[in-house]
Copies of this chain bind each other. A is one copy, B any other.
Amino acid sequence: MNKTPQAEILNIGDEILIGQIVNTNAVWIAQELNKRGVPVKRMTTVGDTKTDMVNALDQAIQHHDIVIITGGLGPTKDDLTKDVLTEYFQTRLVFNEEVFEMLDDFFKKRGRTLNEANKTQCYVPEACTVLMNYWGTAPGMLFKNKGKIIVSLPGVPLEMKELMNTYVFPYIETHYPLPPILHRSYLTEGIPESELMMRLAEWENNLPAAIKLAYLPSAGQVTLRLSTLNENGNGLAMIKEQEDKLKSILGDEIIGYDGETLEQVIQRIFIEKQLTLGTAESCTGGYIAHKITSVPGSSAYFMGTVVSYHNRIKQEVLQVNEQTLKTVGAVSKETVIQMAEHARSLLHTDYAIAVSGIAGPDGGSTEKPVGTVWVAWATPQGTLTKKYRFGNDRLTNIHRTYQVALGVLRKLVLNIPVGESFWE
């Protein structure tokens, strides 16, 4: 095989076709294949119906070299993928001792015993390579057919990802001559995409043809990605050269590299500087703490949180003045300052963030419409505050609050000026 293989992603599941779930498996597989230089040419979703599956399989194998199938591997009657593949490749199901032992062990560890439905999962097509699934109960399968490979994986995202990482990507990488594509990505926070495009226009127009720039926007953040085929072995140097130019334009506004998240950036900086952090949350209801603690190792710098959803907790646990709550209310500069400063002392941290706002969809007023959020940062140098005005969607408001709270925190810790408006 000496040409770049083309891939198709084939998702099986009625739940996708009725719009009940978003097909995030296809997104992840596409990202990971592209990263490795394998273009995805088509994504197809069909239901748990034999003829539709066979037809989609025919089309996929006819047009593409690598077919990644997810879903339809559960133990229930509507899970047909294994039977369809067995028939399609004219093989038969055989009992696999290794799968049985693994499953038996899987259940024993969880204090359960194998039932009849699970035992059917020990039967696998004779013609396939079994991909042992240590993260669930349905093994994956890899078929080779006329120089093409067809992989079948469970639809549970965690299991699918583990099997792709453990078996499928290594297989693809060793069996195809993939053009080594180099990528480097840069996370920016708080700059609108259109502004970023204008600031980068001149640099972008002068990029060498071998380097490709992509803007990858998501709510409140834009990731810039430089890619190049490393054809002459100088790809890394070429990217480095452009990275330096990019840095001279954006400077401190590049906050992370190569897929780092905001909370990973914060963790890296806090641990480096041996600083500690805590939060006092009202409208975000624990979301900032959750994002921070979703990163392994966060206990090295993150002390804790008080979610003061009710005003009584603001008063009693965070010592917010009763008079303040009565006169200017919970969504106010005064309240978040008191929350942040008391959280900093209660949690014994160097920095503390406090947020209070109206997440919506109800609870707004003319003076404080839905989307109004006050944030305070208590620091060793004093306390800063800012009022934000987001939109009407509850979850978006919560997410944007976390972004600005950590985005500004990063600047404060790195001594990057945030502007006069933040100070009391």
Q: Does A125 contact B (CB under 8 A)?
A: no
Max chain B Cβ within 10 angstroms of own Cβ: one of A16, A42, A393: A42
| Binding stretch for chain B, among A84-92, A300-308, A373-381 | A300-308
Tally of A interface residues using CB under 8 Å: 106
**Does A166 have its Cβ within 8 Å of any Cβ on chain B?**
no
Assess whether B31 is in contact with A393, with CB atoms less than 8 Å apart: no
Q: How far is the CA of A257 from the CA of B310 in the complex (A)?
A: 29
Contact with B along A394-415 (1 / 0, CB 8 A): 1110100000000000000000
Give the most central of A17, A40, A362: most B CB within 10 Å: A17
| A306 adjacent to B309 (CB under 8 Å) | no
Q: Cβ of B304 and Cβ of A198 under 8 Å apart?
A: no
- B31 to A115, Cβ gap below 8 A? no
Say yes or no: is A423 at the interface (Cβ < 8 Å to chain B). no
Q: Are A305 and B303 touching (Cβ within 8 A)?
A: no
> In chain A, residues 11-45, which have Cβ atoms closer than 8 Å to a Cβ of chain B?
14-24, 26-32, 34, 39-45
A158 to chain B, nearest CB (A): 6
Chain A residues within CB distance 8 Å of chain B: 14-24, 26-32, 34, 39-47, 49, 52, 55-56, 59, 63, 74-78, 109-112, 115-118, 135, 137, 156, 158, 192-195, 197-198, 204, 214-219, 279, 281, 284-290, 292-294, 296-299, 302-310, 312-313, 316-317, 346-348, 360-362, 389, 391, 393-396, 398
